[in-house]
Structure 1
Amino acid sequence: ADFHLTLNTAQRYQKVKGFGGSVTDSAAINIQSLSKDAQNHLLRSYFSEEGIEYNLVRVPMASTDFSVRLYTYADAEDDFELKHFTLTEEDTQMKVSPRHGAQAVAKQPLSLYASPWTSPVWMKTNGAMTGRGTLKGSPGDKYHKAWANYFIRFLDEYAKHNLTFWAVTAGNEPTAGEIIFYPFQCLGFSPEHQRDFIAQDLGPALANSTHHAVRLIILDDQRVMLPYWAQVNLNNYVTGWTDWNLALDMEGGPNWSKNYVDSPVIVDSSKDIFYKQPMFYHLGHFSKFIPEGSQRVGLAVSKKCHQCDLEHSAFLRPDGAVVLVVLNRSPMDVSFGISDPRVGFIKAVAPGDSIQTFLWKQPQEG
């Protein structure tokens, strides 16, 4: 083929953490609306070896728009010492069980990470969970210290349910409450504000707690913000990807603000069934074949393909296999070649509007 991709494993880039989805209140409600057999089938589809092998699980800290009510864990006014901090029934009765169920069917340990949408309203400048508002005061003060300790208390309480976390994020969509009026739960941060909050409050709180091994992630936000905060996609050093709700109902909820959206899995509890949508399988091309510890490697393009729109990324897996994912965004078929100097050359075709994963073994060193 005139157009071909040549692997170069001597060029090494980032190592992959993984791929996964979010156990929101709505996801938990929909999963638990199914029979035990159907629940197990859904979890196995996502997390087991015969499924797409998700290994990341995003856990909202308290409510989101994909909840049936608005709440935090410390709603008592001016509770700076968090004496009234408590998990809710959404946590203890709904969300703990799917996480244990997911781990039970997974081949490898799952990595959980937690994300808060908003602080309690008494900490906020606008006195509301929604809208434009941020933490009162400035980094290092009693409001920021209390909000940092809120993270620690969350980790403490979940540990009592035998759930430990790989990471926390400094906040969901930090730009939402900072720049625009946001109709859902939010807590606004500028990059500078989040940096100083982490440096003076959240970082030290984690370091001085029993959760000092927990990682800390910034910019837990939509991809449109990334050119400003960091660079995008797997070819620019991203190490993982977490989708939104694991499962929603036929309406795209439940959602207290009626912000209904799509999901890889849609549940029809009236028939005790669920549907795996095309995006479920699209995500599987990454989560199934690029396990944790895989490292992105060089991929040289012979010449620019002016008539096509192929995107591609190659990885060396911990087991020594090579993975190449090819996405064809154009409506026409594209012929191309794949060259691995250590193995050989093959011709391939990417059908229009398709995604493909190529997987092959390399000879062992020595």
Structure 2
Amino acid sequence: MRRLLSAFFFSFFVSLSSADVNPCILREIQENAYVCECNITYCDDVAPLGTVGKNQGVLFYTSQSGSRLQRSDFPPNSTAAPNSVQFIIDASITYQTIFGFGAAFTDAAGINLDSLPTNMSDFIINQYFSTDGLGYTVGRVPMASCDFSTHEYSYDDVANDFNLTNFNLTAEDFRYKIPYILKAKTAAGGSLRLFSTPWSPPGWMKSNGRMKGGGVMKGDMNGQYYQTWAKYFVRFFEEYHKAGIDFWGTTIQNEPTSGLDPFWKWQTMYLSAAMERDFLKGTLGPTLRGSPFAQNLSIMIVDDQRNNLPAWPDTILLDPDAAKYVSGIALHWYEDIETSPSLLTQTHQNHPDYFIFGTEACTGYLPLQGHPELGSWPRAEQYANDLIQDLLNWSTGWMDWNLVLDMQGGPNWVGNFVDAAIIVDSSRNIYYKNPMWHVMGHFAKFIRPGSVRISGEFQNLHDANVEGVAFKAPDGSRVAVILNKDAVSQPRSLNFANHSQNQIK
């Protein structure tokens, strides 16, 4: 069985009985494909870590054969067993600080939450965002419609409304986004970093006349259309503020390179790195800084595949007039299989003052895969592998895509169906937790904001199928996440050693 392990050590534990936790109702969808099934009266939960003391630890593991964040006491300095993995931690060697993990509040997510009884949708939000659940601390909010909407819409579809007189939030915001964002904020104890992303300006601002399909902004760079688009950002933040929601950050454009394709199936707009730089320094940056609702936003550039590294950040961040508005570099994962994660490290070395953050990932996006695969372990393993590799290469966090989707992988107005960590069957008032949900838990629940990545190395192991990453938590405890991608043929036990000169709590 393949396992994903989160190990806490050099802390202390209090033994927990099985009565303390609601176990997973395990359903085998097909051979070695298991989900946890939740209904209107019952859902499993995650065992609490408990209180932890010096030189003791707790282990959580998830396996292909059906274990899901299963908790056990863990002795960190046990005698090495045959075929054991020796993982050596050194907290004196530090790297990036983590600020969180999360997912997106799309229209589709809200529609699926809204399709369930309130107690069920509330429980999903709590299990994602409360510290009793996965403890998500970041949320992404599309600015108007995206492909995971039921139709194409902006906040001002009145042509040539350069004063944005007709700007307004929509029914989707008030029914499917704002209520669940507010609930998530409460579940997270008020500490929720929200960032926005536009897929396209209103169609009347674009060269092709529609939000859908490739095109560029009309007019000259930083001319009337660009100025109106920057004001559109500000109006979005103003209106959400009126609804009780303030944002931590924004990206400039979702996947701007897709705007080169005139036949792109959903909303987009093309920006090159140079265009993004010029828009940011000439119009968007000054406009946001001039708004009381947007002046402190963390602005992220790129928001596209990592094959744009390091050239795209170089183009923008080597220009001081643009760089002064930038806080970080946002990345998507869809072409990660074709590119090395070392591009993140190269980008960090070029621009160490700017954080790197993964802002979108999902499975089931490839041709012939466009639907949920309930219980898929390979999809969960994709998540774990990418998370570990990104974190080993200076990423400060990682975002799943839709919080929840339906059995088809939508709704999605252009049929771009994908998978999600939670899949809803509203006809039966049931939802399923895919293994991806528990994978996200190994990271989000235990690598808390403020954790610092530290050195973690395998001793005498030359096996690419075993991966791991280590952190020092804000309370001084150590956290390691270990993935064995070949556990069926090569089961391994864990053995940890601490080589840090730092005092252990």
Tell me the amino acid that sits aligned with residue 217 of structure 1.
M
The 5 Å alignment of 1:153-302 reads: 153-178=235-260, 181-210=263-292, 211-223=294-306, 225-226=308-309, 229=312, 231-232=343-344, 233-302=390-459
2-structure distance, mates of 1:180, 1:243: 27
Moved more, 87-96 or 326-335: 326-335
Q: Distance in 2 between matches of 1:275 and 1:58?
A: 22
Deviations along 1:27-62, one digit per CA (max 9) or x if unpaired, are 000001111111111111111122111111100000
Is 1:305 the counterpart of 2:452 in the alignment?
Answer: no
Structure 2 counterpart of 1:63, which letter? Answer: S
CA distance in 1, matches of 2:400, 2:107: 15
Secondary structure, aligned partner of 1:29:
helix
Letter in 2 for 1:197: F
Q: Deviations over 1:253-279 (max 9, x none)?
A: 111111111110111111212111100
Q: Deviations over 1:167-199 (max 9, x none)?
A: 011011111113574211111111111111111
In structure 2, distance between residues paired with 1:23 and 1:294 = 25
What is the CA-CA distance between 1:149 and the residue it aligns to? 1.1
**In structure 2, what is the Cα distance between the partners aligned to 1:81 and 1:4?**
63
Q: CA deviation at 1:299?
A: 2.2
* Helix, strand or coil at the partner of 2:256: coil
CA contact (8 A) 2:85 2:492 kept: no
**Contact 2:89/2:498 (<8 A) preserved:** yes
How do 1:33-48 and structure 2 match up within 5 A?
33-48=115-130
Equivalent residue for 2:62? none
1:338 and 1:266, CA in 2 relative to 1: closer, same or farther beyond 3 A? same
1:65-88 CA distance string (max 9 Å, x none): 111110001111111221111111
SS in 2 for 1:149: helix
Q: CA shift at 1:336, angstroms?
A: 5.2
CA contact 1:15–1:239 (8 Å) conserved in 2: yes
Structure-1 separation of matches of 2:419 and 2:229:
32
Give aligned pairs, total.
346
> 2:477 touches 2:504 (CA, 8 Å); kept in 1?
no
Instruction: Report the 3-state secondary structure (helix = DSSP H, G, I; strand = E; otherwise coil) of the residue aligned with 1:165.
Output: coil
Kept after mapping to 2: 8 A contact 1:321/1:362: no
- The question of whether the paired residues in 2 share the 8 Å contact of 1:15 and 1:294 is answered with yes
Contact 1:234–1:313 (CA<8 Å) still a contact in 2?
Answer: yes
- Mark the CA change 1:121 to 1:98 in structure 2 (over 3 Å): closer, same or farther: same
Could you tell me whether the CA contact under 8 Å between 1:3 and 1:305 is conserved in 2?
no
Partner SS state of residue 462, structure 2: coil
C-alpha distance in 2, partners of 1:362/1:114? Answer: 40
Deviations 1:132-171 (A, max 9, x none): 2121234321111111111100000000000000001101
Q: Distance in 2 between matches of 1:293 and 1:138?
A: 43
8 Å CA contact retained: 1:78, 1:122: yes
Q: Distance in 2 between matches of 1:186 and 1:154?
A: 18
CA–CA distance in 2 between the matches of 1:287 and 1:88? 32
Q: Which runs of 5+ in 1 are unaligned?
A: 344-360
| 1:1-366 equivalence runs, <5 A | 4-107=86-189, 109-178=191-260, 181-210=263-292, 211-223=294-306, 225-226=308-309, 229=312, 231-232=343-344, 233-306=390-463, 308-331=464-487, 332-335=490-493, 337-341=495-499, 363-364=504-505
- 8 Å CA contact retained: 2:94, 2:453: yes
CA-to-aligned-CA distance 1:305-345 (integer Å, 9 cap, x gap): 14x522221111111111111122235324553211359xx
**For residue 302 of structure 1, what is the amino acid of its counterpart?**
Q
Structure 2 Cα separation of the partners of residues 75 and 304 of structure 1: 59
**SS of 1:20 mapped into structure 2:** strand
**1:228: Cα distance to partner?**
5.5
Deviates more, 1:37-46 or 1:326-335: 326-335
Change (3 A) 1:328 1:3: closer
**C-alpha root-mean-square deviation of aligned residues, in Å?**
2.1
User: Contact conserved, 1:42 with 1:274, CA < 8 A, in 2?
Assistant: no
**Structure 2 CA distance, aligned partners of 1:282 and 1:79?**
46
Question: How far is 1:226 from its partner?
Answer: 4.9
Structure 2: distance between partners of 1:129 and 1:120 = 6
Q: CA separation in 1, counterparts of 2:391 and 2:439?
A: 15
Structure 1 residue matching 2:189: 3-state secondary structure: coil
2:285 alignment partner, SS class: helix
Identity of aligned residues (%): 42
C-alpha separation in 2, matches of 1:182 and 1:295: 40
Segments of 5+ residues of structure 2 without an aligned counterpart are 1-79, 314-342, 345-389
The aligned amino acid for 1:333 is P
Q: Secondary structure at the match of 2:395?
A: coil
What letter is aligned with 2:279?
F
Is the alpha carbon distance of 1:162 and 1:285 closer, same or farther for their aligned partners in structure 2, counting shifts above 3 Å?
A: same
In 1, the alpha carbon distance for the partners of 2:198 and 2:498 equals 44
Give the deviation of 1:63 after TM superposition: 0.4
TM-score, normalised by the number of residues in structure 1: 0.89
Take 1:310 and 1:298, find their aligned partners in 2: how far apart are those partners? Answer: 16
Question: Following the alignment from structure 2 to structure 1, what is the Cα–Cα distance between the partners of residues 308 and 440?
Answer: 21
Worse overlay, 297-306 or 150-159: 297-306
